[in-house]
Amino acid sequence: MKNTNCLLTPRILIVDDREENLYVLRELIQGLDSSVDVVQALSGMEALRILAEDSDFCLILMDVQMPDLDGFQTTGLIRRYKHTKDTPVIFITAIFKDVAYIHHGFDSGAVDYICKPIDDKVLLSKVKIFIDLYKSKKALESSLEKSREIEERQNLILSHSQDGIVVFDKFGKVLFLNPTAEDILGHESESVESLMLSDIVSREEGFGREWSASDVCEAVEKGVSFRSLDSSVTTAGGQKIPCSYSFGSFDSQAYSGGVLIFQDITQRKKHEENLVYMATHDPLTNLPNRILFKESVNNAIARAQRSSYKLVVMFIDLDHFKKVNDELGHNVGDELLKKICRRLQSIGRKVDLFARLGGDEFGVVFEDINNNFDSHKMAPKILKAFEEPIDALDHSILISGSVGVVEYPEYGRDADSLIKAADIAMYQAKSQGRNCYALFRPELEDSAIARSQLERDFRLAISREQLICHYQPILNATDMSIAAIEVLVRWEHPKRGLVSPAEFISVAEHTGQVVEMSNQVFSMALASLADWEAKGLWPRSAKIALNVSALQLARDILIGQLKSMGDRYTFSFSNVEIEITESMLMQDAEESARILESVREMGLSISIDDFGTGYSSLNYLRRLPINVLKIDRSFVKDIGHDRSDEQIINATIDLAHNLNLKVVSEGVETETQMAFLKDAGSDYLQGFHLSKPLSRSAMEEWLESESRRKAGIQGGKLDVC
């Protein structure tokens, strides 16, 4: 766009063959308006050359009498060209008597005459008129140019706007739809003539009535604007399109009405719905999560309050699910959870809501329940869902669940209290042996508080290193010399004294502190071993036996722990044995074999603890790099009373010896048991009849006593080749 100030600067061309005349004219004109640009030409030819280069002049003052080309001829040539044909020319002449002469001047294109001698006032009056005309013309042209540019920009915006734009008059008749509005609404431009705004905007916006009574008509009359973030427009086919819109009114001499600018928010709505779904559903199972479950329970309570029905909330926690993740991997655990969800959902009705509350926890709300509903029948149905093994990524897994049950309105008036009560009841089911259910009773809250306190105390125990090790000797069955010492963890509670592992091992598993606990136990035990070796108290062939958790084995943590201890303390790995339970070993026998082979390559021995309580495959047992089987105390305790247990012990010892494995019998508490096990061929014995677990100092005294007793004699040998 040209500079507006330049366009409005008037330029006057004065043509005269005498310089003194040019000077006088220039001075007169600039005295009238100093902003006028005066251009001079000494001949008609020079004037034509100037006009050829720039024709934008508001006026030409032309002398008639000039050599070569006179004023008439020059003006005639000026009128031939398109760019100069409308430029006004005033002749300045002393010859002004012959009418024919005057007509000739007008015929050649002049608009006026000024006679010499020049009357300054007459000249300036006429010049001013043409200057003003020029300025008005240029201002008008500039205004028109601006209007055209504005119109072009508006058309460009309207055509390319991603928003739908609807212009309508004060009667609600649609005057204009931009291309986006046409595309969204499905209306062609020619159909606009019969279109009303009420055909587009939904009835919810006030168009269910006559136009004159509508909200928008009222807004147009009052000249106000408003917007809606969540509305809809109706297409030509009657489809509702979600939209947000803004409305503004206008009132001019030509029109009065309004403009509706709307955006199709279909994708935004879908995105919002997806976000809400993601925020309220478990991504793995697609079940409602804890947030939605809580909301659903509150809604169910509100419905129950309006009816004579009650509702039941159940809290389900899978038993030992952590072992699945630790031993088989999270992929298997995830697949197991998805299949458990499908089983649980198959039990309930359509109105029953199942939710995954997190990890291995699930919630159920049963509503529309009459007095005939029996929680004692429904809870066993849930437990029954776990009876059959579940196939998860080539693993057949048998898992159980513990269920807590609470009824509304007896034990809670809102979702938080009901869920908490069901959770407390679930922990009661856990304490009853798992794979069962428990109904909430108010007195259970005391045990829940105690359990929470125990968890807090145990976290402190780990951070403050309150755990200690006790040591229980394992003796050779032949000469009762020390063959090994099993390390047993105890918690030295500042207020309660020694706490049994039966109380806190499950807490360690639940709070995820098993690895940290094992680090502390390994450190204390192997530091003791290094000290006893340095003092010459440790029998050359004896082992110190460390219990290993499923988490250590599954995550391949064990090797790193052992290497770290080897760097910290000076001891022989050949004097270390690790104990792994049979069930832990068989969760993933192939992976267990790989890890245990690495352990054996470091020089350690490996024993299977609690043998006979799991489901070992003899084929895997033969292939695993193990040295010792430990017969569980549950078989030993009934020796002399249960012939079948005695037969199992005999068969186990024979099996172990055939596999070239040694046997430790646990839980020896009587002379009868010890005598039977010796006769059966058990290689080693362990139990209270021989020695209870000892503190570190007491164990050191035992070793010193044993060293003095066996002075010069090598102790019994635990041959675990």
Question: In 10 A of CB 330, how many CB atoms?
Answer: 10
For 97: left if phi > 0, alpha if psi spans -120 to 50, otherwise beta; the answer is alpha
Q: What is the helix (H) or strand (E) element at residue 369, kind and residue range? A: strand 361-369
Distance CA 198, CA 208 (A): 8
Question: In 10 A of CB 202, how many CB atoms?
Answer: 17
CA 608 to chain centre: 44
Determine contact, residues 685/674, Cβ cutoff 8 Å. yes
Name the nearest CA neighbour of 552 among 504, 595, 615: 595
Distance CA 331, CA 349 (A): 30
Name the nearest CA neighbour of 592 among 567, 617, 575: 617
The pLDDT assigned to 7 comes to 52
**Tokens coding 186:** 């499905």
Distance CA 582, CA 589 (A): 10
pLDDT digits (tens, 9 = 90+) for 184-209: 888 876 777 788 888 888 655 545 45
Residues in the chain: 721
Helix or strand or coil: residue 181?
A: helix
The pLDDT assigned to 501 comes to 87
Distance CA 260, CA 478 (A): 100
Determine contact, residues 315/419, Cβ cutoff 8 Å. yes
What is the model's pTM?
A: 0.52
For 610: left if phi > 0, alpha if psi spans -120 to 50, otherwise beta; the answer is left
CA gyration radius, the chain: 51
Angle at alpha carbon of residue 711, lines to 708 and 715, rounded to 5°: 100
The pLDDT assigned to 347 comes to 84
The pLDDT assigned to 444 comes to 83
Question: In 10 A of CB 663, how many CB atoms?
Answer: 25
The pLDDT assigned to 662 comes to 95
pLDDT digits (tens, 9 = 90+) for 299-338: 999 988 888 788 899 999 999 888 788 778 889 999 999 9
Distance CA 21, CA 45 (A): 18
User: Could you tell me which residues are beta bridge partners of residue 59?
Assistant: 12
Name the nearest CA neighbour of 628 among 592, 660, 602: 660
Helix or strand or coil: residue 329?
A: coil
Name the nearest CA neighbour of 627 among 603, 649, 646, 650: 603
**How close are the terminal C-alpha atoms of the chain, in Å?**
99
Determine contact, residues 600/593, Cβ cutoff 8 Å. no
Determine contact, residues 12/39, Cβ cutoff 8 Å. yes
The pLDDT assigned to 719 comes to 37
Helix or strand or coil: residue 384?
A: helix
Determine contact, residues 403/314, Cβ cutoff 8 Å. yes
CB within 8 Å of 338: residues ≥ 6 apart:
284, 285
The pLDDT assigned to 613 comes to 57
Distance CA 248, CA 259 (A): 5
Distance CA 410, CA 277 (A): 32
What burial letters (b/e) apply to 399-420, b meaning 16+ CB within 10 Å?
bebbbbbbbbeebbeebeebbb
Q: What is the helix (H) or strand (E) element at residue 280, kind and residue range? A: helix 266-280
The pLDDT assigned to 354 comes to 93
**Which residues of the chain are under the pLDDT cut of 50?**
1-6, 206, 208, 615, 714-721
Helix or strand or coil: residue 310?
A: strand
Question: In 10 A of CB 424, how many CB atoms?
Answer: 24
Distance CA 333, CA 360 (A): 9
Distance CA 57, CA 127 (A): 12
Q: For residue 223, give the amino acid letter.
A: G
Q: For residue 319, give the amino acid letter.
A: D
Distance CA 435, CA 537 (A): 47
Q: Cβ-count burial of 718 within 10 angstroms (0-12 exposed, 13-18 middle, 19+ buried)?
A: buried
What burial letters (b/e) apply to 187-199, b meaning 16+ CB within 10 Å?
beeeebeebebbb
- Would you state the torsion angle of the CA atoms of residues 416, 421, 422, 425, taken in this order, to the nearest 10 degrees? 160
**Tokens coding 16:** 């005269």
Distance CA 379, CA 402 (A): 10
pLDDT digits (tens, 9 = 90+) for 19-58: 998 998 999 988 888 888 999 999 999 999 999 888 889 8
Q: How far is CA 374 from CA 366, 387, 444, in A?
A: 11, 21, 21
Determine contact, residues 624/592, Cβ cutoff 8 Å. yes
pLDDT digits (tens, 9 = 90+) for 657-715: 998 999 999 999 999 999 999 999 999 999 999 999 999 999 999 999 888 877 755 44
Distance CA 383, CA 599 (A): 39
The pLDDT assigned to 587 comes to 64
Determine contact, residues 680/650, Cβ cutoff 8 Å. yes
The pLDDT assigned to 49 comes to 92
Q: For residue 483, give the amino acid letter.
A: A
Q: For residue 20, give the amino acid letter.
A: E
Distance CA 684, CA 653 (A): 11
DSSP state of 637: T
All domains of the chain, ordered by start, with CATH?
4-143 (3.40.50.2300), 161-269 (3.30.450.20), 283-442 (3.30.70.270), 456-705 (3.20.20.450)
